[in-house]
Structure 1
Amino acid sequence: MGNTMENIDTSTQHEVKTVKEVFDTTSPFFEQMKIKVFPATSHTPVVRHFKFKESSLTRLMLWAAAANLPAGFFGAEMKRNMYTYGPSGCGKTRLVEAFASRTGRPMFREQCSKETTLSDLFGSWKLCGKDQGMKWVYGKVCQWAKTPNAILLLDEWDQVPADVAMGLNGVLDGAPIHLDQTDEIIKIAPGCMIMATGNTNGRGSAGGQGGSAAIYKGTQKMNFANQDRFNVMFETYLTEEEEIDLLKSETRANPLAAKAMASLAAKIRANFIGLNEDAGANGMAFQFTITTRNVLNWSMNFSLLTQMGKRPEDAYVEALRMTVLDFASKDEASAILATWSTIMGTTSQP
């Protein structure tokens, strides 16, 4: 008989706060809504600034509600897991980290790849020094399952081989974890939640507008039985106005500089084949894009270069090249710099 580990929820201490207060939203939809906020642990991410879109926050709240429903609340079984996909660098992982940070939930992140194995996820025997010998080391899935109110983040889930993903189906259903190697049974702790992320929709498309998944090397079509256990959320880049606000608040960019940078990012993304089916309809189709992460770094590199004494017009280009543009092909880089020149000619000098 295996050793059954009963996980007792010892972290029931929590505050109940309004969603508007916790997530700093002004949307009337959340006016009367409340959420539990737990004491932060060493596994709780720290994200100080993040702006939640109403559509994203709505699905996150539904995800949290479904994951914490008592057994038998509905007659039918409700899906309790979320798969979030979208283009590289649009903030999928940051979204989950910010949600965990605001609610105090511990988070266990597994960085997945085509090399990921079930041993990576659940654990394995490891040699821990000549005096200790072989020791069982729990993987992130088991660590998560033993931690009440925790979030398991399966990053780049569409990279995982189908047979490995199928090995997690029982966990996605909420079933106890059976570790044959240790003759142990781990019951999933109360309040635990699962989020997976990827660049594709799991069916060969990379975007809500029919972008090509070929740009994301190593991604695979998900087994339908595995995919069917997730609700889904599509995330994409910020709008120009949202990105302008982010640049001003996070990098102290002046309004005109922020506007010019956000404008270039939007134009590049419109022609990115990994996001749009008709990429290139209004210019060259790019296998390259500029992510939100890189827009922020462009602005910060620009700021440092100007403080070093570089002329602003040169600092913009040098910072752009250093941050991301030198990854592009020669033709793509030339087209992007031509677009930047046009923007600077039609925008007052920042």
Structure 2
Amino acid sequence: MSPEIDQYLVRNMPYYRTVADEVDLYEAAYSVRMPMMLKGPTGCGKTRFIEYMAWKLGKPLITVACNEDMTASDLVGRFLLDASGTRWQDGPLAIAARFGAICYLDEVVEARQDTTVVIHPLTDARRVLPLEKKGELVQAHPDFQIVISYNPGYQSLMKDLKQSTKQRFGALDFNYPAHDIETEIVAHETGVSVEIAGKLVSIAERARNLKGHGLDEGISTRMLIYAGSLITKGVEPLAACHMTLVRPITDDPDMRDALDAAVSTFF
């Protein structure tokens, strides 16, 4: 494996708690190099899952955090000017296609639609990436796979994937785990007791019931891990919860009071 791609290997096993049959289904999809879409709310484990699968399969993982300013050149590459003149520099998608990495486009719906169109030739039988500025056609490496993550909760007419894009992917649905599994995850990741982890999960479950009733998003597993990490460091649980679970997700005084009351119920 070349040094250029070797840096993207996931060397240490990421902790991932299997919830259903998602690992087996993903392995089957990878065996036929099916492009995959991971759908689910923010902070529910989509990125950790793909890191775990890249480690399990022994494949390099190149992650791109998509945003509305991202251009097609940011993905495929561009000419750069240096002391010796102009040179071509591959973008992350081109590197993944050349060397056989998994390319993970995180929150792809944030990217402009004219940018996401560049992935189309890689997600059908052609498996090619045209570098139009360079006049090159990159044939995807046999190990190459493209994976996107997508939060259906943020769908709107302005920010949604085209059907012509969606139908190129297989999809796995992710959600926040069941109470006992999420408790296990929080306890493992933070070192708090199972009792405290369970209380944090119960707070999150109450907040998730408010989604669409004053909250755009519920409290994620990631946020619970932040709270547990602070508690492990000796921060008083009420203060840790206010800082990591309540203040980040709402500025509405009434909603904050409701969430603070939920925290006070358990701590």
Normalising by structure 1, report the TM-score: 0.69
Q: Is the 8 A contact 1:305 1:319 kept in 2?
A: no
For residues 245 and 200 of structure 2, the distance between their equivalents in structure 1, rounded to whole angstroms, comes to 13
Q: Which residue of 2 aligns with 1:291?
A: 220
Q: Pick from 119, 134, 159: which aligns with 1:182?
A: 134
Partner-residue secondary structure (3-state), 1:89: coil
Q: Is the 8 A contact 2:241 2:263 kept in 1?
A: no
For residues 150 and 44 of structure 2, the distance between their equivalents in structure 1, rounded to whole angstroms, comes to 11
| Shift of residue 318, structure 1, vs aligned partner | 0.8
For residues 155 and 197 of structure 1, the distance between their equivalents in structure 2, rounded to whole angstroms, comes to 5
Compare 241-250 and 172-181 and name the one that shifted more: 172-181
Report the residue type matching 1:240 in the other structure: H
Q: Which residue of 1 aligns with 2:145?
A: 193
Q: Which residue of 2 aligns with 1:317?
A: 238
Q: Is the 8 A contact 1:41 1:104 kept in 2?
A: no
Q: 1:65 to 1:161 in 2, by over 3 A?
A: same
Provide structure 1 residue ranges, at least 5 long, that are not aligned to the other structure. Answer: 1-9, 12-39, 68-79, 201-205, 207-211, 274-279, 307-314, 345-350
- What is the percentage of aligned positions where both structures have the same residue? 22
Provide structure 2 residue ranges, at least 5 long, that are not aligned to the other structure. Answer: none
| Shift of residue 83, structure 1, vs aligned partner | 0.9
Q: Pick from 15, 23, 30: which aligns with 1:64?
A: 30
1:47-102 C-alpha deviation (Å, 9 max, x unpaired): 432112223213212211221xxxxxxxxxxxx21111111111111110111012
Q: Which residue of 1 aligns with 2:263?
A: 340
| Correspondence list, 1:58-207, <5 A | 58-67=24-33, 80-128=34-82, 131-148=83-100, 150-173=101-124, 174-200=126-152, 206=153
Q: Which residue of 2 aligns with 1:77?
A: none
Report the residue type matching 1:43 in the other structure: Y
Aligned residues: 261
For residues 158 and 49 of structure 2, the distance between their equivalents in structure 1, rounded to whole angstroms, comes to 21
1:223-246 C-alpha deviation (Å, 9 max, x unpaired): 211111111111111221111111
Report the residue type matching 2:219 in the other structure: I
Q: Which residue of 2 aligns with 1:3?
A: none
For residues 72 and 14 of structure 2, the distance between their equivalents in structure 1, rounded to whole angstroms, comes to 34
For residues 219 and 299 of structure 1, the distance between their equivalents in structure 2, rounded to whole angstroms, comes to 36
For residues 219 and 191 of structure 1, the distance between their equivalents in structure 2, rounded to whole angstroms, comes to 34
Q: Which residue of 2 aligns with 1:243?
A: 182
Q: Which residue of 1 aligns with 2:234?
A: 305
For residues 169 and 321 of structure 1, the distance between their equivalents in structure 2, rounded to whole angstroms, comes to 44
Higher relative contact order (CA 8 A, sep 6+): 2
Report the residue type matching 1:318 in the other structure: A
Q: Is the 8 A contact 2:62 2:102 kept in 1?
A: yes
| Shift of residue 110, structure 1, vs aligned partner | 1.6
Partner-residue secondary structure (3-state), 2:99: coil
Q: Which residue of 2 aligns with 1:267?
A: 206
Q: Which residue of 2 aligns with 1:43?
A: 8
For residues 254 and 189 of structure 1, the distance between their equivalents in structure 2, rounded to whole angstroms, comes to 46
| Ranges of 4+ aligned residues in structure 1 off by more than 6 Å | none
Choose 1 or 2 for highest CA Rg.
1
For residues 50 and 219 of structure 1, the distance between their equivalents in structure 2, rounded to whole angstroms, comes to 33
| Shift of residue 219, structure 1, vs aligned partner | 6.4
Higher helix share: 2
| Shift of residue 341, structure 1, vs aligned partner | 2.4
